[in-house]
Amino acid sequence: MKYSLVFDLDGTLVDTAPDLMSAHNYVMKKYGYEEKPLESIRHLAGRGAAAMLIQSIDSNGDLIKKTPIDSETHKEMTNDFINYYRKNISGHSTIRKNVISLLEWCKKTEIICAVCTNKREDLAIKLLKEINLYKYFDFIAGADTFEYRKPDPRHLTNILDILGIEKKNTIMLGDSETDANTARAAEVYFVLIKDGYTEQKLSDIHHDHLINDFEVVKQIASKYLNIS
């Protein structure tokens, strides 16, 4: 019988906010918008480049309505963001506490690991390679891997179908309501990570378990997946 852990990437496996915010401020400065400190927009780090830029610009009111950004400019800003980020993807990003310990344990216990992220697939792979986590994963699904992305549950269930793993033998781990809603719709057990990229209260986000240290996941997985 095969078992799996499926991880979100930004804010879950890796604190990518510093490098994403560096790209954000580069683009904002280039196009004449306000640069912002990390903490004021950290919650946007897992939204994707296009959404992050719009939500950041419009965070103080109806700026977009008053001074609309045409689609071509928004596309240029997004492309500039991605190009800058690609070149500086891992300069200040850090792996979350005991992630490597958990992934090593999964290798030893033959638990299959996958990534389900709304980051573009090529960027997700590049990041994981640069921080030496790529070797632990059997499948990586980004925002453009399929025709759908989180919170569409098919982003998750298609991974399981490809790997040949039943939902009841899977645990999903993520830091946001997007991950939670994906797991809930897919009917997959969900572990919520504290201190991720969300504005919602953790109590308002669906979860079966709440953690701040990945070492605990070994116990959760052993119990829920009946792994000795």
Residues identified as active-site: 8
CA 173 to chain centre: 10
Q: How far is CA 218 from CA 104, 109, 152, in A?
A: 11, 10, 27
CA 108 to chain centre: 25
Q: Is the peptide bond before 151 cis (omega within 30 degrees of 0)?
A: yes
